[in-house]
């Protein structure tokens, strides 16, 4: 897995999938533009401010709520490269890996706008703004392959599953 660097968007505990992408936006005509609606009810205008490679840092239970795969897909469409959180809702965690979104479970001290570097192979998150480094358990090889391939369907298409 490649290292990722990006600007931090900070969230607290219990960010649910309805906050990530509102249920009323999950219409067939919106599937190619879900990124336009991310966090629109809790952070209006965020979709226009986020840049490719940005990183979400959150507290506990990120992605709780319904089990829709649209939540991680919309974040990928918006350009989010990684989510670092103290913990993730189990179904969100699995859905994210299945679509190729890098998740790191690690409590990190970071403020909105800080510059983070996530080094999955080393198990490190480096906050370049504060100079702090945080460690997390590395993924098993099969999970690394899943994320590197861009998700389960890509891994199957490549014949590596």
Element at 117 (helix H, strand E)? strand 115-119
The pTM assigned to this predicted structure is 0.91
User: 18 to each of 25, 40, 66, 130, 143, how far by Cα in Å?
Assistant: 10, 10, 8, 32, 26
Output the six-digit token pair for 130: 């504060």
Give the pLDDT score at 82. Answer: 97
Give the pLDDT score at 108. Answer: 97
Specify the pairing of strand 82-85 against strand 124-127: unpaired
Mean pLDDT by 10 residues, the chain (161 residues): 94 96 78 88 95 97 90 95 97 93 96 97 96 93 82 79 62
Looking at the domain 4-157, which fold is it?
Answer: Aconitase; domain 4 (3.20.19)
Give the pLDDT score at 161. Answer: 62
């Amino acid at each position: 897995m490649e290292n990722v660097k990006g600007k931090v968007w900070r969230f607290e505990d219990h960010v649910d999938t309805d906050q990530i992408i509102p249920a009323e936006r999950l219409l067939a005509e919106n599937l190619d533009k879900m990124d336009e609606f991310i966090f629109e009810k809790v952070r209006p205008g965020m979709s226009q401010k986020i840049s490719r490679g940005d990183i979400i840092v959150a507290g506990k239970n990120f992605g709780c709520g319904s089990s829709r795969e649209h939540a991680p897909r919309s974040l990928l469409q918006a350009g989010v490269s990684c989510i670092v959180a103290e913990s993730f809702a189990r179904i969100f965690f699995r859905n994210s890996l299945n679509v190729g979104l890098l998740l790191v479970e690690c409590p990190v001290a970071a403020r909105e706008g800080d510059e983070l570097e996530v080094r999955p192979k080393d198990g490190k998150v480096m906050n370049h703004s504060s100079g702090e480094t945080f460690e997390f358990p590395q993924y098993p090889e099969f999970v690394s392959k899943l994320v590197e391939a861009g998700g389960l369907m890509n891994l199957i298409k490549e014949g590596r599953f």
